[in-house]
Amino acid sequence: MKNKYTVLVIGGGTAGIMTAAQLKKKDKNLDVAIIEPSEYHYYQPAWTLVGVNEYDYAKTRRSMQSQIPQGVTWIKDYAEKFHPEKNTVTTRSGSEIAYDFLVVAPGLVMAPELVEGLTDALDKGVVCSNYTDPENTWRVLQQFKGGTALFTQPTTPIKCGGAPQKIMYLAEDYFNKSGKRKGTDIVFATAGSVIFGVKPIAKTLMEVVDRKDINLRFGYNLVGVDGQENIAWYEMADHEKEYNHKDVKVIIDGKRKGIKFDMLHLAPPQAAPKFIRESPLVDETKWISVDKGTMQHTRFKNIFGLGDAAGLPTAKTGAAVRKQVPVIVENLMRLMAAKGLSDKRYDGYSSCPLVTDIGKMVLAEFDYDNNFTPDPKLKQLLIRDSSKEHWRLWMLKKYILPYLYWNKMMKGIDV
């Protein structure tokens, strides 16, 4: 193995592979390496469907080897320490690898330790998460016999912010079809003050909430999960409010409220990986400090950061990565040719495919200012208004997007 590369990429996930593949498409002789420890690459967006038995988990996983673009060196190791002053990265096995340009995309990690009791409770008994084990979500849904089905999310940023409510809509559909809906109260508790930040999407989702008779609780900051007593504990924000009240069991303990549940689905708190949080690359938020238009590091000009680990003020999704990569690739090509940065800017585009029933979906696409920005290409699918539920959007989620992911995006084709 060499110990110097023109472009060194950290992470072989959605962002790392897409970047390396697009770079190689621009110049097949470019000297690119990826540091990535995992044997497998996952298509995580389908985990929502796995949670309700609408997708096979095995199909979301492919060998990492099969995804590393041709001609790119795979360094199967963990990146551990950054030395930006000498343009090197040290790996866990002790190699020091040098670069001209560095792309940092190691994703994020689950941090259940930030919620009291969650490390012990997660994926045990009736506590499940599509973020950690979507097949277990399906087991929990099947074993649920009625009572309070609680869906919740943490106060930290999370990847795919819509995922904690998507599984709720799908679960409601499943409860209906399996005859469990009648004896069930469905509760969604969130720290936020609205169901979704993009107005036309929020309007549709409130109609879904009404149709499905869901109890919404806003201003609920998750602070504890008691997996013995099945209670989720919250500290209440000033903007606490409730919509469509249901008389579920609530325990008051000083400033805290506990919701007793018979099943709980949650997104665990999430954070940048420890080696990033402790590196010179982060700002006070502990995410990689990058310019929000170019994704160039704010201090080290030959370093770029993207994907879930980047401190960008938009939703952390694969869809966002899809729009970030071409900007970084163009800038890298120009910098390598000593031409300076291009005018191309990332506008914060992200998207969230909100499945609202088995067979229906709404597609939230938006920018840094939460403007609704639907892709004109949706017209080709005969979808006139993607802020409304549509069965064709479900087909997009279940069949078209996984196909495009594996066959186009991972191959460096900008779709």
Ligand X SMILES: Cc1cc2nc3c(=O)[nH]c(=O)nc-3n(C[C@H](O)[C@H](O)[C@H](O)COP(=O)(O)OP(=O)(O)OC[C@H]3O[C@@H](n4cnc5c(N)ncnc54)[C@H](O)[C@@H]3O)c2cc1C
Looking at the Cβ atoms of 47 and 220, the one nearer to ligand X is: 47
Nearest approach, Cβ of 275 to ligand X (angstroms)? 5
- Buried-state track 217-250, b at ≥16 Cβ within 10 A, e below 16: bbbbbbbbbbbeebbbbbbeeeeeeeeeeeebee
- Is residue 44 close enough to count as binding ligand X by CB under 6 A? yes
CA distances to 54, 160, 232 from 397, rounded to whole Å, are 11, 14, 31
Residue from 311, 353, 374, 412 touching ligand X (CB under 6 A): that is: 353
- Is residue 60 close enough to count as binding ligand X by CB under 6 A? no
Residue from 23, 32, 33, 79 touching ligand X (CB under 6 A): that is: 79
Looking at the Cβ atoms of 106 and 112, the one nearer to ligand X is: 106
Nearest approach, Cβ of 287 to ligand X (angstroms)? 11
Q: Checking phi first, is residue 235 left (phi over 0); if not, alpha (psi -120 to 50) or beta?
A: beta
List binders of ligand X among 309-338 (CB under 6 A): 309, 316-319, 321
Looking at the Cβ atoms of 186 and 276, the one nearer to ligand X is: 276
Query: How open is the CA angle 222-287-239, to the nearest 5 degrees?
Result: 30
Nearest approach, Cβ of 273 to ligand X (angstroms)? 5
Taking Cα atoms as reference points, which of 44, 259, 244, 272 lies closest to residue 152? Answer: 259
Nearest approach, Cβ of 63 to ligand X (angstroms)? 12
Nearest approach, Cβ of 372 to ligand X (angstroms)? 17
Looking at the Cβ atoms of 212 and 398, the one nearer to ligand X is: 398
List binders of ligand X among 127-156 (CB under 6 A): 130-131
Residue from 7, 36, 328, 331 touching ligand X (CB under 6 A): that is: 36
Task: Return the residue nearest ligand X (CB atom).
Answer: 13
- Is residue 365 close enough to count as binding ligand X by CB under 6 A? no
List binders of ligand X among 155-214 (CB under 6 A): 159-160, 163
Among 38-46, 137-145, 184-192, 202-210, the segment contacting ligand X (CB under 6 A)? 38-46
- Is residue 11 close enough to count as binding ligand X by CB under 6 A? yes
Q: In this structure, are strands 250-253 and 109-110 parallel, antiparallel, or unpaired?
A: unpaired
List of residues 6+ apart from 215 with CB closer than 8 A: 185, 186, 187, 188, 242, 243, 244, 245, 246, 248
Distance separating alpha carbons of residues 261 and 8, to the nearest angstrom: 47
Looking at the Cβ atoms of 232 and 276, the one nearer to ligand X is: 276
The 3-class SS string of 206-253 reads HHHHHHHCCEEEEEEEEEEEECCCCEEEEEEEEEEEEECCCCCCEEEE
Contact 203, 244 (CB under 8 A): no
- Is residue 349 close enough to count as binding ligand X by CB under 6 A? no
Nearest approach, Cβ of 163 to ligand X (angstroms)? 4
Nearest approach, Cβ of 35 to ligand X (angstroms)? 5
Among 11-19, 65-73, 145-153, 338-346, the segment contacting ligand X (CB under 6 A)? 11-19
Query: How open is the CA angle 90-94-96, to the nearest 5 degrees?
Result: 40
Stretch 91-130: interaction string toward ligand X, x if CB under 6 A = --------------xxx----------------------x
Residue from 8, 14, 144, 410 touching ligand X (CB under 6 A): that is: 14
Binding-site size, ligand X (CB under 6 A): 36
Taking Cα atoms as reference points, which of 196, 109, 115 lies closest to residue 155? Answer: 115
What would the two tokens of residue 404 be? 């495009």
Taking Cα atoms as reference points, which of 18, 218, 193 lies closest to residue 107? Answer: 18
- In which element (H, E) is residue 353 found? strand 350-357
Length of the chain equals 415
Among 34-42, 96-104, 141-149, 359-367, the segment contacting ligand X (CB under 6 A)? 34-42
List binders of ligand X among 247-276 (CB under 6 A): 273, 275
Beta strands in 279-345 (DSSP E): 303-305
Catalytically active residues, by annotation: 160, 352
Nearest approach, Cβ of 75 to ligand X (angstroms)? 9
Contact 314, 159 (CB under 8 A): no
Distance of CA 97 to the CA centre of its chain: 29
Residues that bind ligand X (CB under 6 A): 10-16, 35-38, 44-45, 47-48, 78-79, 105-107, 130-131, 159-160, 163, 273, 275, 307-309, 316-319, 321, 353
